[in-house]
Structure 1
């Protein structure tokens, strides 16, 4: 039992040391990573109003009562 503890204890301590930093890098107060493409930029050619209209139309046509009835 003591031998098993001596083998597993260093492994448990080392497991916490291998965690990678997950915070974004900031340079001069701004995020230094890649800019994310927005859906309205990619699929609607920068037309945010058209994108909102499509999302609103899709949401209005979702009806749980129609989906639940066989």
Structure 2
């Protein structure tokens, strides 16, 4: 389970890094903010995808409040 999470984190870091590297060419450049938004969109997807995985949710439930106690 750790390897997919590392891959997702690296992908999100690459998206953030590419968004941080986009600079406007001139003061009225409207394409730069659009490029930054497009570069940030995969970051949100990479960050939200583990939350939608039932396998990860079952594993993470053990560390939540009362997760380690046995249920009768």
Establish whether TM, by shorter chain, passes 0.5.
no
Q: Which structure has greater strand proportion?
A: 1
Could you state the TM-score of these two structures normalised by the residue count of structure 1?
Answer: 0.34
Could you state the TM-score of these two structures normalised by the residue count of structure 2?
Answer: 0.33
Q: Which structure has greater helix proportion?
A: 2
Relative contact order higher in (CA < 8 Å, ≥ 6 apart): 2
Larger radius of gyration, structure 1 or 2?
Answer: 1
